[in-house]
Structures are given as C-alpha cells and as structure tokens.
Chain A
Amino acid sequence: MTDTSTLTPPAPSGARAHGDRLSHLDRLESESIHIIREVAATFRKPVMLYSIGKDSAVMLHLALKAFAPGRLPFPLLHVDTTWKFREMIRFRDDLAKRLGLDLIVHINQEGVADGVNPFSHGSKVHTDIMKTQALKQALDRHGFDAAFGGARRDEEKSRAKERIFSFRTKSHRWDPKNQRPELWSLFNTEIGAGESVRVFPLSNWTELDVWRYILKESIPIVPLYLAAERPVVTRDGALIMVDDDRMPLDPGEVPETRRVRFRTLGCYPLTGGIESDADSVARIIAELEASRASERQGRVIDHDQIGSMEKKKQEGYF
C-alpha cells in the first residue's frame, strides 16, 4: 500500500479521454465531486459519516478534491460501536491527525453503561443500539441537516432504489414511498425544519470501481482489507477474527492462524473474513474479478431475515 497523502494530488495531467467522452472512472469521480459540492453549497450544516472503510476512504478523497485547495467545509463523524477492529481505530486517528481533519467520534454512552455488546445481546440489538440509535443521537445533538454516506447502489437490492439525496423525516425515518424523483443532475435540496437528508455520492460506483479508484489514486486503506495471517475462530460458518480478549471463546475453542482478509469492515465479532492471498490492491481486484460471492455475504446482520436491510433503513440505519 503506497500512501500518497490526499492533500497532495498527483502531478497535473489531462483526464484521459475515450473518444470525446471521459473515461469511466473520471466520469464517476466528477459526478461525485459535483454531488459533494452541491451539498456544501445548499445545506446549513452538513457532516460526512466516516466509517473508516474503503468506501469512506474514497468518499473522503473525493471531498478533499472537491474543495481543494481549501479545507473541508464540514466535519467528519464516526459512530464508534466500541467493537470495531483495533486497526480501524488506529487508522482513523492517524488519518485525522495527518490530514488535520475535524473528526467527531460518537459513542452511545447509554449503550456502554448498559453493557450492550454483540455477544450477550446479539447482533440485532447491538447494531440497533450502538449504531442506529447512536447515529441518530449524534445527528440530533449537532443539528446536522445533511449527512454524507458511502453506500453504493450495487451493494444490496433495496439500495438499488435509493436516491442520491435520500430524504429523512424528523425522526430520521426513510419512507420508500415518499422519496423525491431525481432528474438529470438537478437535486432538490429543500427541506423543512428538523428534516434532513442522507447523501450518497458513491451511488453509481460498483465495488470494483471503488478498488480500481483506490489503486489509481493510491488512497490509503486499513490493512485489514489485505490478506495476512490472523487469529480466527469459525462461528456459524464465518471466520471471525479474535481481535481482543473481550471475545468469549467456547470451551476448547482455540483461535487458529489463517491467511484472511475482509471485504467489508465493521464490528469485528460481526464481520466474517475470507481466506485469501490477495495482499495488494491489484490482487484484490484480480480476486474480485473471479469472485462469485457478494460483498455483503460477510455481514452477519443481513442474514437475519429477508428484507432486513430495508427494515433497518426505515428505522434510520444508514
């Protein structure tokens, strides 16, 4: 992983053309920058939700480009469930320091006080309290009226219908029947008092686009995406990394060392790794090109029931 700081863009170059049209990644890049600028120009108090993952990394990189040579005109918000991989937190803090970012970290303290965790409360309750509720708390506390998220439409079927500007009621609910049509690139950015929008600048990107862009732009990512020897146990068929000693092991269960990487990053007890030798971004791309399993496969929360993501969204989960 080469780490060219996002603050010093590569040397000047004309965008590479294909005939008269912009190349695919250049087109996506410019469209996303357009969306990010549109929010900065029209909302009172935007925030960028930064989840430390690859999509957030790309989104942040695009935002830095959108306002260069100036600074980001909004803060970043990380909702910390306290169960993220340690490497993620380290990466987040280093990045914020290096780029001088205005980073807000929010933890649902009531959840912490109640000892909510994925083991005794189950993934559903844990996600609801430490992620969904926590996010609402943070948005309400700061009065943000627009929140960027790194979700893509190709992630999941219910996301395929998500708008780029997704309207939320005062109680942060998403109503699939009450979303605004989006025509051309004319975004309706008007909202009433207390209402807000979630904005998804990467809507039109695929997982592969994200990786190819990371490669092209040398965007730093959390090393957990790359294959390495890691201590794991097998739970319900998923390879769960034993990231710290809070993880209760069954009697006789011994973590084994396997060469794994993660396709998405979240709470370590809820994120299944895959066995892989892909130890560079180029190899990840090669692996994905041959892959037959979707990205969300490793996420424990989606399997709870058919349509579970849609329900979560209605409740205000990102």
Chain B
Amino acid sequence: MNRSMKYIDDFRDPATAKALVERIRRDAGDAPIRLMEVCGTHTVAIARGGIRPLLSGAVAMLSGPGCPVCVTPDGYIDAAIALGRERGALLASFGDMLRVPGKSSSLEKEKGNGLEVRVVYSPLDAVTLAAATPDREVVFLGVGFETTAPAIGGAIRTAAERGVGNFSVLSSVRTIPEAMGVLAADPEVRIEGFLCPAHVSVVIGSDAYRPIARRYGIPCVVAGFEPLDILLGISMLLRQKREGVARVENEYSRVATSTGNRKAQDLIRDVFVPCDTGWRGIGVIRGSGLRIADRYASFDAEVKFDAPVVFAPEASACRCGDVLKGKILPVDCPLFGKGCVPEEPYGPCMVSGEGTCAAFFKYGA
C-alpha cells in the first residue's frame, strides 16, 4: 500500500497543478469555455480541490447527470417502498439511496416506521442475505451506471447458479453515453467539451464517446479523479478547442483503454438489455437504461412482483433537473441552502455525497 500511496501523491503535486492552471489560463479564450464534467465523482473532486474558482474566467465547469442516486426518479423510490410495505420484501440497498426522496417519503423515513431496509456494500451481499433468509423475499435496489452494472449482473448470475430463488433486483441501471448525447444536442446547455468519467470508461472504453465527438463536434477527454488528472483533462479539452478539432482523448490511459473491459461488457450483455428509461429532472432518454434480460426474468423484481416502476415527474420549485443538465448552478436554484440543505434535502442533488448541490453546499464551490 505504501508504494501505491506515493503513486497517488504524484497526481496531487502542487507545483505541477500550478503549472497546469497557468497553461489552462494561457490557452483560454476571451469568454470562459463551457465544459461539463459528466460524473459525480469528478464533481466532488473538483469541489474538494477548489478547482472551480481556480479557473474562473477561463473555464466554466458545468456538472452533469453522472450521479446515479440523483437521477433515479421518485417513482423508483415509491416502487421500492411499496415492495417492502405491500409485498413484505426485505430491501437491500447501497447507503446513499436511503435519504433520496420519493413522492411522499424516503427509505430512511420508512425505515424509522418499521420498513426493513438493510444497507449492503455489494450486490453480492444481498444474495448472501437472501440465502441466509430463505423465508423472505430479498429485493436489491440496483442503482448505478456501467460501473455498478457488472456487479449487479454478477450477483444475478450468482443467484441463478446457486438457486437463490428469493433474490431479485429492482433495476435502475443507466448508461452514460446516451445521456451525454441528449445534453450535447440541447442548445440551452451549449457544451463545448466533455470531461468523461474515469471508472465508467474503464468498463465501456473511451471509444464509446466517439459518436458524440463525431456527431456533435464536441471534444471528449477521459480523465482520472485526482486533481492533476482533472486539470490535465481540462487542458487537453482546451487544446482541442484551440486546434478546432473534436476527438476522443484519454488522459486516464493508466487504467482505461479504448475498448474497455470486455469481460465486464459481456457480463452486462448477458444479464441486461437496453431500454428507454426516465431520468429524474431530464425525462425519458432512449436506450439509456438497462433492464434485466428475459432469461433472468425471475430475478427482475418488476416482473416477479408485477410492480413496474412508473416515471411520472411532478412540477416543483426544485431545479435539480436544470442542475443535472448543467443549465444552472446550484446557487441559482431558489431552494438551495434554504428549503434544501444536506440534513433536510428536498432534491436528489442535495442527497447524495456525489450530488452537485451537496458538493457546492459542502465545499462552497
């Protein structure tokens, strides 16, 4: 571990950071370039590193929809609560989901009222839980992107192999490139460059962003999550802009490749099939969801309990949708810091540790 920590230090070196900031400022044009970091982990790293004010005037960093908790629609939470309340299911979830508001309640509030929710750290833990409680139906709340999909798929395959019939998944798995396409096409957002996620790209490969670069003429750079990764990624986007090109580049080549992790991709293809799905604040995006394939239908909670997740967004003062699309900054939302704070979140962007509003609130970006 010691050697690896020294390795991480190389990506946090203050002198290199300073040089990169100077290069970004030199390369910047008159108006700030509008770049979007798609992934919530980038959003947090940028806020934690104090990077946004460091680049003010040169670069406007917009935060994208890449926090899975934030984009999960309230109908999903309601469906999960109903499975627990009406079907007596034992719910297993990642901890971040607990405080996400549904239409009228959250898993945390319902837990206080007796709903059984177990926090797990891996989907496989939920299979183990099901095997240990054969008289209960265990439903795992499968929320995530391409990074989490292989783990959820692996859990489903494990349950199938071991014959754990009381295990199922309420899937809310989404894919990033489709959401990026919608944002790229939105004239209100006006994205001039995408800082593409590190971990997602390890799975899907940097080639996955090629259609976006080609079709919309928007430069894409895959970047790691360390401060220097982010600064170098931004600098690479600026260089593309200056050269007038739009291609996919990979700053995170120490881990992510152009083709990604084939094994994980095969696992996803085996267990899931693409579907249209609703994103909180954005709407339905074609082909951006992963539902459980028919051959694993007995592990699909929506099929098993005949309880489909309904996507029916309601109008409210919460502007998470515009925050998720990068149209406004959290501070421009009328609820931010008033009716919506981390202890009492109103919108999903304030709930998750990776939410844009939470990052702005916590680190004062």
Real complex partners, A and B? no
Where the two chains meet, the residues of A that have a C-beta atom closer than 8 Å to any C-beta of B are: none
Where the two chains meet, the residues of B that have a C-beta atom closer than 8 Å to any C-beta of A are: none
